[in-house]
Amino acid sequence: QNFRIASFNEELLATNENLNKVNDERKDLMAIVSHDLQAPLNRAFGLIQLFKLDEKNLSPSGLDLLKKLLNELEQQKALITDILRSENLELEYENDEKSIIDLSIVLPEILSGFYEVATKKGINLVDNTKETKAHIFGSRIGFQRIIDNLVSNAIKFSDAGTVVEIKVTCTEAVEINVKDQGQGFSESDFKNLFKKFHKLSSRPTAGEVSTGLGLAIVKTLVEKMDGKITLISEKGKGSEFILTFPKISAG
Protein backbone atom coordinates (compact mmCIF):
# COMPACT_ATOMS: atom_id res chain seq x y z
CA GLN A 1 0.00 0.00 0.00
CA ASN A 2 2.79 2.41 0.94
CA PHE A 3 4.62 1.58 -2.28
CA ARG A 4 1.51 2.36 -4.36
CA ILE A 5 1.01 5.67 -2.54
CA ALA A 6 4.65 6.63 -3.09
CA SER A 7 4.42 5.69 -6.76
CA PHE A 8 1.23 7.71 -7.15
CA ASN A 9 2.85 10.74 -5.49
CA GLU A 10 5.82 10.52 -7.87
CA GLU A 11 3.48 10.43 -10.87
CA LEU A 12 1.57 13.39 -9.47
CA LEU A 13 4.76 15.41 -9.01
CA ALA A 14 5.86 14.57 -12.57
CA THR A 15 2.45 15.66 -13.91
CA ASN A 16 2.65 18.94 -12.00
CA GLU A 17 6.14 19.59 -13.36
CA ASN A 18 4.88 19.00 -16.91
CA LEU A 19 1.94 21.34 -16.34
CA ASN A 20 4.28 24.02 -15.03
CA LYS A 21 6.48 23.62 -18.11
CA VAL A 22 3.46 23.93 -20.41
CA ASN A 23 2.32 27.03 -18.52
CA ASP A 24 5.79 28.58 -18.80
CA GLU A 25 5.84 27.83 -22.52
CA ARG A 26 2.42 29.48 -22.90
CA LYS A 27 3.69 32.59 -21.10
CA ASP A 28 6.73 32.67 -23.38
CA LEU A 29 4.47 32.37 -26.43
CA MET A 30 2.32 35.25 -25.21
CA ALA A 31 5.44 37.35 -24.73
CA ILE A 32 6.41 36.61 -28.34
CA VAL A 33 2.91 37.49 -29.53
CA SER A 34 2.83 40.74 -27.57
CA HIS A 35 6.27 41.95 -28.65
CA ASP A 36 7.73 40.13 -31.62
CA LEU A 37 4.50 40.17 -33.64
CA GLN A 38 3.10 43.54 -32.61
CA ALA A 39 6.32 45.44 -33.32
CA PRO A 40 6.57 44.58 -37.06
CA LEU A 41 2.85 45.19 -37.48
CA ASN A 42 3.21 48.65 -35.99
CA ARG A 43 6.14 49.35 -38.30
CA ALA A 44 4.08 48.21 -41.29
CA PHE A 45 1.27 50.54 -40.25
CA GLY A 46 3.76 53.39 -40.09
CA LEU A 47 5.06 52.69 -43.59
CA ILE A 48 1.55 52.50 -45.04
CA GLN A 49 0.70 55.84 -43.43
CA LEU A 50 3.49 57.35 -45.56
CA PHE A 51 1.71 56.10 -48.67
CA LYS A 52 -1.57 57.55 -47.41
CA LEU A 53 0.05 60.98 -47.18
CA ASP A 54 0.68 60.72 -50.91
CA GLU A 55 -2.77 59.41 -51.87
CA LYS A 56 -3.35 62.02 -54.57
CA ASN A 57 -0.43 60.61 -56.54
CA LEU A 58 -1.64 57.01 -56.36
CA SER A 59 -3.61 55.37 -59.13
CA PRO A 60 -7.10 53.97 -58.41
CA SER A 61 -5.65 50.45 -58.38
CA GLY A 62 -2.90 51.60 -56.00
CA LEU A 63 -5.46 53.13 -53.64
CA ASP A 64 -7.49 49.92 -53.71
CA LEU A 65 -4.38 47.88 -52.88
CA LEU A 66 -3.55 50.26 -50.04
CA LYS A 67 -7.01 49.82 -48.52
CA LYS A 68 -6.70 46.03 -48.74
CA LEU A 69 -3.29 46.11 -47.06
CA LEU A 70 -4.63 48.27 -44.23
CA ASN A 71 -7.58 45.94 -43.76
CA GLU A 72 -5.32 42.88 -43.55
CA LEU A 73 -3.06 44.58 -41.01
CA GLU A 74 -6.04 45.70 -38.93
CA GLN A 75 -7.35 42.12 -38.90
CA GLN A 76 -4.00 40.82 -37.63
CA LYS A 77 -3.60 43.56 -35.04
CA ALA A 78 -7.13 42.98 -33.73
CA LEU A 79 -6.50 39.25 -33.48
CA ILE A 80 -3.28 39.75 -31.49
CA THR A 81 -5.02 42.22 -29.17
CA ASP A 82 -7.92 39.82 -28.55
CA ILE A 83 -5.57 36.88 -27.93
CA LEU A 84 -3.67 38.87 -25.32
CA ARG A 85 -6.89 40.05 -23.70
CA SER A 86 -8.22 36.52 -23.59
CA GLU A 87 -5.01 35.18 -22.03
CA ASN A 88 -4.82 37.95 -19.43
CA LEU A 89 -8.54 37.94 -18.65
CA GLU A 90 -8.36 35.99 -15.39
CA LEU A 91 -5.51 38.03 -13.93
CA GLU A 92 -6.91 41.34 -15.15
CA TYR A 93 -10.34 40.72 -13.66
CA GLU A 94 -9.00 39.50 -10.32
CA ASN A 95 -6.71 42.52 -9.99
CA ASP A 96 -9.35 45.08 -10.91
CA GLU A 97 -11.24 46.77 -8.08
CA LYS A 98 -14.84 45.59 -7.66
CA SER A 99 -17.57 48.10 -6.85
CA ILE A 100 -21.28 48.86 -7.19
CA ILE A 101 -22.01 49.91 -10.79
CA ASP A 102 -24.86 52.38 -11.34
CA LEU A 103 -26.17 51.40 -14.77
CA SER A 104 -28.09 54.65 -15.30
CA ILE A 105 -24.74 56.46 -15.24
CA VAL A 106 -22.24 53.91 -16.57
CA LEU A 107 -24.20 52.59 -19.58
CA PRO A 108 -24.84 56.02 -21.19
CA GLU A 109 -21.13 56.83 -20.70
CA ILE A 110 -20.11 53.63 -22.51
CA LEU A 111 -22.67 54.10 -25.29
CA SER A 112 -21.58 57.70 -25.93
CA GLY A 113 -18.51 56.31 -27.65
CA PHE A 114 -20.60 54.47 -30.25
CA TYR A 115 -22.87 57.19 -31.66
CA GLU A 116 -20.36 58.44 -34.22
CA VAL A 117 -19.57 55.02 -35.69
CA ALA A 118 -23.29 54.11 -35.73
CA THR A 119 -24.20 57.36 -37.47
CA LYS A 120 -21.48 56.84 -40.09
CA LYS A 121 -23.05 53.47 -40.94
CA GLY A 122 -26.56 54.95 -40.99
CA ILE A 123 -27.61 52.97 -37.92
CA ASN A 124 -29.87 54.42 -35.23
CA LEU A 125 -28.39 53.68 -31.79
CA VAL A 126 -31.18 53.92 -29.20
CA ASP A 127 -30.29 54.23 -25.50
CA ASN A 128 -33.15 53.25 -23.22
CA THR A 129 -31.01 52.85 -20.09
CA LYS A 130 -31.04 56.27 -18.43
CA GLU A 131 -34.37 56.12 -16.62
CA THR A 132 -34.03 52.67 -15.05
CA LYS A 133 -32.43 52.73 -11.61
CA ALA A 134 -30.43 49.52 -11.36
CA HIS A 135 -27.13 48.54 -9.77
CA ILE A 136 -24.86 45.52 -10.18
CA PHE A 137 -21.56 44.54 -8.55
CA GLY A 138 -18.29 43.77 -10.26
CA SER A 139 -15.37 45.14 -12.25
CA ARG A 140 -16.11 48.41 -14.03
CA ILE A 141 -13.45 47.63 -16.66
CA GLY A 142 -14.84 44.12 -17.15
CA PHE A 143 -18.40 45.43 -17.49
CA GLN A 144 -17.33 48.03 -20.03
CA ARG A 145 -15.64 45.33 -22.09
CA ILE A 146 -18.86 43.26 -22.06
CA ILE A 147 -20.96 46.14 -23.35
CA ASP A 148 -18.29 47.31 -25.80
CA ASN A 149 -18.17 43.88 -27.43
CA LEU A 150 -21.94 43.42 -27.69
CA VAL A 151 -22.72 46.92 -28.97
CA SER A 152 -19.79 47.01 -31.42
CA ASN A 153 -20.89 43.61 -32.78
CA ALA A 154 -24.49 44.79 -33.14
CA ILE A 155 -23.31 47.78 -35.19
CA LYS A 156 -20.68 45.78 -37.07
CA PHE A 157 -23.13 43.14 -38.33
CA SER A 158 -26.05 45.49 -39.11
CA ASP A 159 -26.95 47.36 -42.28
CA ALA A 160 -27.73 51.03 -42.79
CA GLY A 161 -31.30 52.01 -41.93
CA THR A 162 -31.58 49.59 -38.98
CA VAL A 163 -31.83 50.12 -35.22
CA VAL A 164 -29.59 48.95 -32.37
CA GLU A 165 -31.35 49.27 -29.01
CA ILE A 166 -30.00 48.91 -25.47
CA LYS A 167 -32.39 48.78 -22.54
CA VAL A 168 -32.40 47.83 -18.86
CA THR A 169 -35.14 46.28 -16.73
CA CYS A 170 -34.92 45.65 -13.01
CA THR A 171 -37.26 43.25 -11.20
CA GLU A 172 -35.96 40.27 -9.22
CA ALA A 173 -32.71 40.60 -11.19
CA VAL A 174 -31.13 43.18 -13.49
CA GLU A 175 -31.56 42.48 -17.22
CA ILE A 176 -29.65 44.30 -19.96
CA ASN A 177 -30.82 43.79 -23.54
CA VAL A 178 -28.74 44.55 -26.63
CA LYS A 179 -31.01 44.15 -29.64
CA ASP A 180 -30.30 44.67 -33.35
CA GLN A 181 -31.97 44.17 -36.72
CA GLY A 182 -28.90 42.64 -38.31
CA GLN A 183 -28.10 39.30 -39.90
CA GLY A 184 -28.94 37.14 -36.90
CA PHE A 185 -27.54 33.70 -36.05
CA SER A 186 -28.15 30.33 -37.67
CA GLU A 187 -28.86 27.11 -35.78
CA SER A 188 -25.29 25.93 -36.35
CA ASP A 189 -23.99 29.25 -34.95
CA PHE A 190 -25.57 28.51 -31.59
CA LYS A 191 -23.28 25.48 -31.12
CA ASN A 192 -20.14 27.60 -31.46
CA LEU A 193 -21.44 30.89 -30.12
CA PHE A 194 -19.05 31.30 -27.20
CA LYS A 195 -16.11 29.23 -28.46
CA LYS A 196 -12.78 30.93 -29.07
CA PHE A 197 -11.71 31.61 -32.66
CA HIS A 198 -14.96 30.34 -34.17
CA LYS A 199 -16.15 32.79 -36.79
CA LEU A 200 -19.89 32.55 -37.24
CA SER A 201 -22.05 32.78 -40.36
CA SER A 202 -22.63 36.56 -40.24
CA ARG A 203 -20.10 38.91 -41.78
CA PRO A 204 -19.38 42.58 -40.99
CA THR A 205 -21.41 44.79 -43.33
CA ALA A 206 -18.73 47.43 -43.96
CA GLY A 207 -15.53 45.37 -43.95
CA GLU A 208 -14.90 45.78 -40.21
CA VAL A 209 -12.50 43.54 -38.31
CA SER A 210 -13.84 40.36 -36.68
CA THR A 211 -11.61 37.90 -34.78
CA GLY A 212 -14.07 35.39 -33.33
CA LEU A 213 -12.95 36.03 -29.74
CA GLY A 214 -15.36 38.74 -28.58
CA LEU A 215 -18.28 36.58 -27.45
CA ALA A 216 -15.98 34.13 -25.65
CA ILE A 217 -14.54 37.05 -23.67
CA VAL A 218 -18.04 38.38 -22.96
CA LYS A 219 -19.27 35.05 -21.58
CA THR A 220 -16.23 34.66 -19.32
CA LEU A 221 -16.64 38.17 -17.89
CA VAL A 222 -20.41 37.86 -17.41
CA GLU A 223 -19.98 34.64 -15.45
CA LYS A 224 -17.26 36.22 -13.29
CA MET A 225 -19.85 38.82 -12.29
CA ASP A 226 -22.28 36.01 -11.31
CA GLY A 227 -24.39 36.72 -14.37
CA LYS A 228 -25.58 34.77 -17.38
CA ILE A 229 -25.91 35.55 -21.08
CA THR A 230 -28.59 34.25 -23.43
CA LEU A 231 -29.40 34.89 -27.07
CA ILE A 232 -32.66 35.18 -28.98
CA SER A 233 -32.09 35.12 -32.73
CA GLU A 234 -33.06 33.74 -36.10
CA LYS A 235 -31.01 33.95 -39.26
CA GLY A 236 -31.97 37.10 -41.15
CA LYS A 237 -34.13 38.42 -38.31
CA GLY A 238 -31.68 40.18 -36.04
CA SER A 239 -30.56 39.17 -32.58
CA GLU A 240 -31.05 40.06 -28.93
CA PHE A 241 -28.41 39.34 -26.29
CA ILE A 242 -29.80 39.27 -22.75
CA LEU A 243 -27.49 39.78 -19.78
CA THR A 244 -28.88 38.87 -16.35
CA PHE A 245 -27.10 39.97 -13.15
CA PRO A 246 -27.98 39.82 -9.46
CA LYS A 247 -29.61 43.05 -8.29
CA ILE A 248 -27.58 45.08 -5.80
CA SER A 249 -28.90 47.73 -3.42
CA ALA A 250 -27.29 51.15 -3.94
CA GLY A 251 -27.28 51.71 -0.18
pLDDT tens per residue across all 251 residues of the chain: 677 777 777 787 877 777 777 666 666 666 666 666 677 777 787 777 777 777 777 788 888 888 788 777 777 777 777 777 666 666 677 777 899 999 999 999 999 999 999 999 999 999 998 778 899 999 998 899 899 989 999 999 999 999 999 999 998 999 999 999 999 998 888 888 888 766 777 777 766 766 667 788 899 899 999 999 999 998 989 999 999 999 988 66
Find all residues with CB under 8 Å of 143, minimum gap 6, and list them: 101, 106, 136, 221, 225
Question: What was the pLDDT predicted at 34?
Answer: 61
| Residue 216, Cβ density class (10 Å: 0-12 exposed, 13-18 middle, ≥19 buried) | buried
CA 250 to chain centre: 28
